[in-house]
Amino acid sequence: MRDMDNLFIKQVIYVSKPVGFNDQVLDSILVQSKHNNEKNQITGALICRSDLYLQYLEGPPNKINSIYSKIKIDGRHTDVKLLEEAKSKRRLFSNWAMRGDPVKEWMWTQEEVADGVLQKLSKNDAMKIFVQHSREIDQFLS
């Protein structure tokens, strides 16, 4: 049974509220994530703005479980909410260790976020966001 798990990658999507968000904090997160994720075979994307983090992570199940445990207690954000936890045979972001992107215009306004749109986001809608996001960007640029 354990060998079957090795055929799949785990996917996690969560949303949270930044604490003390600025370019320096974001750069620190991305540098640390790039280093850790490359060695742990984790890829994904971080969509961020001063009022939200929306992150998609994918990789070996044990590594994803470990990193998500650390994410939940990281003081750089609050109100961490798991939106999706799934298995897949295929990565969405196979060429990235981690990339930070601003919220796209087709996502939400700051007013919508303040009114709780992220708390109402379904796991299917969260996955659709990252599928669309992965199609819009050039994954071959580092």
pLDDT truncated to tens, each residue of the chain (142 aa)?
444 556 899 999 999 999 988 888 888 888 888 888 889 999 988 888 888 889 999 999 999 999 999 999 999 999 999 999 999 999 988 766 555 666 666 678 888 888 988 888 888 888 888 888 787 765 444 4
Single out the residue of 71, 91, 84 nearest to residue 9, CA to CA: 91
For the whole model, what pTM was predicted? 0.81
Token duo for residue 53: 């983090």
**Which CATH fold would you assign to the domain 2-136?**
Alpha-Beta Plaits (3.30.70)
